[in-house]
Amino acid sequence: MGSADRIIRLVLSAIIAVLYFTNVVSGTLGIVLLILAAIFAITSFISICPLYSIFGLSTCSTKK
């Protein structure tokens, strides 16, 4: 996973968390988004996205 991808995921998870904890988003949608934010944060910290592996995608720059 590339650096830009990791930063975007962390920013999105922070925004979703703020929206949830300020009660802008609540209920079932809020819980689903909070779970998605947690998944984004975890995958950015470990630098591996299981869906990228399944579909053969990579956002990491390759060195030649």
Joined together, the tokens standing for residue 43 give: 């995958």
pLDDT tens digits, residue range 5-46? 889 999 999 999 999 999 999 999 999 999 999 999 999 888
Residue 36: partners with Cβ closer than 8 Å, 6 or more residues away: 13, 16
| E-only strand ranges, the chain | none
Domain contains 38: yes
Which pLDDT value is given to residue 48?
Answer: 75
State mean pLDDT over 55-63: 67
Structure tokens at 40: 């984004």
Give the range of the structural domain holding residue 17, as residue numbers without chain letter.
Answer: 3-47
d(CA 13, CA 1): 16
More confident residue, 7 or 3: 7
On whether residue 25 sits in a domain, the answer given is yes
Whether 52 maps to a domain, the answer reads no
